[in-house]
Amino acid sequence: MREHSKKLSILLNTIHRRVFRIGPMFVLARFRSCRVSYSYLQRVRQSADRRRHQTPQSMFQPLSESFFEAIDADRSVEELRKDGISLHFDLPPALVNEIYNLACSLPLQNSVRSRPFFKSEVTEGGRLPDGQLVSLGTAYKSRKLQLLNHECVSRVVNDPVLLKVVSGYLGYWPKRLSDLELYWSYATGLSVEEQMRQGNAIDYHFDLHGYNFVMAAFYITDTDRTSGAHVMFKNSHKKKTLPMLFSYSQPADVLRRQYGSENETIIEGKAGTGFVMDNSTYHRATTPESADRLLLRLVYT
Domains parsed from the chain with CATH numbers: 31-300 (2.60.120.620)
Q: Name, in order, each residue with C-beta under 8 angstroms of 43's C-beta and a sequence gap of 6 or more.
A: 171, 172
SS3 (DSSP) at 189 = coil
Neighbouring C-beta atoms of residue 72, cutoff 10 Å: 14
Range with top average pLDDT, 119-133, 183-197, 250-264: 250-264
Q: Decide which of 109 and 223 is more confident.
A: 223
Q: Decide which of 242 and 201 is more confident.
A: 242
Alpha carbons 170 and 212: distance in angstroms, whole number? 7
> Does residue 20 surpass a pLDDT of 50?
no
pLDDT, tens digit, for every residue of 146-161? Answer: 999 999 999 999 999 9
Alpha carbons 159 and 111: distance in angstroms, whole number? 31
Alpha carbons 196 and 189: distance in angstroms, whole number? 13
pLDDT, tens digit, for every residue of 188-206? Answer: 877 777 777 777 778 899 9
Identify the bridge partners of residue 113 per DSSP, sorted by sequence position: 110
Question: Which of 15-29, 82-96, 217-231 comes out lowest in average pLDDT?
Answer: 15-29
SS3 (DSSP) at 255 = helix
**pLDDT tier for residue 29 given thresholds of 50, 70 and 90:** confident
Rounded to the nearest integer, the mean pLDDT of the chain is 89
Residue 139 DSSP symbol: E
pLDDT, tens digit, for every residue of 275-296? Answer: 999 999 999 999 899 999 999 9
Question: Quick check: 157 and 148 in contact, CB under 8 A?
Answer: yes
**pLDDT tier for residue 248 given thresholds of 50, 70 and 90:** confident
Q: What percent of the chain has pLDDT over 70?
A: 91
pLDDT, tens digit, for every residue of 59-99? Answer: 899 999 999 999 999 999 999 999 999 999 999 999 999 99
Range with top average pLDDT, 22-31, 212-221, 243-252: 212-221
> Does residue 46 surpass a pLDDT of 50?
yes
